Amino acid sequence: MKVLLTGATGYIGKRLLPILVAQGHEIICCVRDKNRFYCPKEFENNVSAIEIDFLNMESLNTIPNDIDAAYYLIHSMSSSSDNYDELESISAANFVKRVNQTNTKQVIYLTGIVNDNTLSKHLSSRKNVENILGTGTFALTALRAGIIVGSGSASFEIIRDLVTKLPLMITPKWLNTKCQPIAITDVLEFLTKSLLNPLTYHQSFDIGGPDILTYKEMLLGFAKAKNLKRWIFTIPVMTPKLSSYWLYFVTSTSYKLATALVSSMKVEVICRDSKINELLQVQPMTYEQALSRALIKVEEDQVASSWKDSLVSGRFKNNISEFLKVPKKDCFIDRRKMEIVNRDFTIERIWSIGGESGWYYGDWLWNIRGFIDKLFGGVGLRRGRTNKHSIHSGDVLDFWRVLYADKENGKLVLFAEMKLPGEAWLEFKIIGNTLYQSATFRPRGIWGKLYWYSVLPFHGFIFSGMLRRLIK
């Protein structure tokens, strides 16, 4: 069958793709930028990518007419735009208009549980999108999930950050709100077993694990799984804004996502029933089991996808293609080169940079820069990296975004997502027996120029030290 997969570069899409390929389907992946879509070579015969901007109706004409089914996995909760609900409505309406013109029999939409009478802006938007999709000529299957627990998920990362960093927590009262978490493995099973299954047509289902827990109980459950002693006290006086700042500064989340999460965490997300479990013969695992599986994946460096690799986790608003060519005109450039001793060693060092490995030299200065970035509303260094030794275009590397990664030829290009009065690139490339390292900065006005000269004294210390450590 030919299946259209939207959100193919997102947290769910990246995990769903290999499962659908293994089942023998032909997958058409909708992406905004092909340069940040990574497709393993073994999938190439079954997978193709088309560039689509769902806010631009004309771009949807590239969707083939002979589609059998489609997954709608487009969400904008952490978008930098304040009117993300309007954008989500437009995207859904454009999608329906185009898919109605194809042979599509079914659309599967992964959304949030919306059973409370009072919904947050985020959950209201999800419900509105479901209503818009329901107007299509195809059969809609809406799967409504609460907190998704899995390695790399936003929920898991936030829980891990809070528990590992704070032995004592003074928390807002919404930590007593109840929810019904579900393992990412079970979400994927529901998504695949619903595909072209008439039993799921024209219906919405709540999907969740067997446990109904408060957010406080989820935090303590993680502490137990890691054999950590933690004390959590809730107070009624912490405002939503203070709660958002609390999440933002302690965890790797962006402020926009923190704000949306705080708003949604006041709403109970509990399943109406579990009839879909019997319908599709799925037995969801417990929260404890989901945590155990996620921790194993992290420890074995086998995280298949991370929410942080989404473009909306940073300040990147454009297609990667627009920044691939590092500029020279009107730029300040710090160029350095050194003869390499062992090519394989140097490439592995480059491909392991950032995250737990650090930046090899002057890490305390990098940490100070990350802290300053957080103070000014930037992403800071806490995003880390998804995998310890593999990098693909579009991935995050602390406060950098990977623009280009060619390990075979030893070339890596990063773009800065930190708060800057300009734009910055960091490039590594091996030519022959020489490693070339360049830091390029394109200033924005007088403040950009002042910024460059203010950090210039540190460049000789940091960049020369880093170059040496990449070689020896």
The predicted structure's pLDDT at residue 121: 77
Helix/strand/coil for 361: coil
Residue 41 main-chain phi, psi, to 5 deg: -60, -35
Res 130 pLDDT > 50 = yes
**pLDDT (tens digit per residue) in 397-423:** 999 999 999 999 999 999 998 899 999
Q: Which CATH superfamily is domain 2-308 in?
A: NAD(P)-binding Rossmann-like Domain (3.40.50.720)
The residue among 426, 145, 153 whose CA lies nearest residue 308 is 153
| Residue bearing tokens 């020896």 | 472
**pLDDT (tens digit per residue) in 133-151:** 999 999 999 999 999 999 9
Task: For 377-399, give one letter per residue: b (16+ CB within 10 A) or e.
Answer: ebbbbbbbbbbeeebbbbbbbbb
The predicted structure's pLDDT at residue 319: 62
The predicted structure's pLDDT at residue 347: 95
Which CB contacts under 8 angstroms, 24+ apart, belong to 132-135? Answer: 132/89, 132/92, 132/93, 132/96, 133/72, 133/92, 133/95, 133/96, 133/107, 133/109, 135/96
Res 461 pLDDT > 60 = yes
pLDDT bin (cut points 50, 70, 90) of residue 78 is very low
Q: Which residues does 44 contact at the CB level (< 8 Å), separation at least 6?
A: none
Cross-strand partners of 110: 143
Res 4 pLDDT > 70 = yes
pLDDT bin (cut points 50, 70, 90) of residue 394 is confident
The predicted structure's pLDDT at residue 318: 56
pLDDT bin (cut points 50, 70, 90) of residue 75 is confident
| Residue bearing tokens 């190439």 | 44
57-71, 214-228, 333-347, 390-404: the lowest-pLDDT one:
390-404
pLDDT mean across residues, the chain: 89
pLDDT bin (cut points 50, 70, 90) of residue 313 is low
Task: For 7-37, give one letter per residue: b (16+ CB within 10 A) or e.
Answer: bbbbbbbbbbbbebbeeebbbbbbbbbbbbb
314-471 maps to which CATH number?
3.30.530.20
Over residues 390-401, the mean pLDDT reads 89
Over residues 196-215, the mean pLDDT reads 96
264-273, 294-303, 315-324: the lowest-pLDDT one:
315-324
Helix/strand/coil for 438: strand
Res 81 pLDDT > 60 = no
Q: HSE-up of 314 (CA within 13 Å, CB side)?
A: 28
Helix/strand/coil for 82: coil
**pLDDT (tens digit per residue) in 430-449:** 999 999 999 999 999 999 99
Domain ranges of the chain: 2-308, 314-471
The predicted structure's pLDDT at residue 39: 80
Over residues 321-329, the mean pLDDT reads 81
The predicted structure's pLDDT at residue 411: 95
**pLDDT (tens digit per residue) in 225-269:** 999 999 999 887 767 777 777 778 888 777 777 777 777 777 888
Over residues 86-103, the mean pLDDT reads 94
The predicted structure's pLDDT at residue 314: 53
Whole-angstrom Cα distance, residue 74 to residue 95? 10
Please state, in angstroms and as integers, the Cα–Cα distance from residue 149 to each residue in 107, 286, 287, 296, 363, following that order.
24, 10, 8, 13, 31
Res 339 pLDDT > 70 = yes
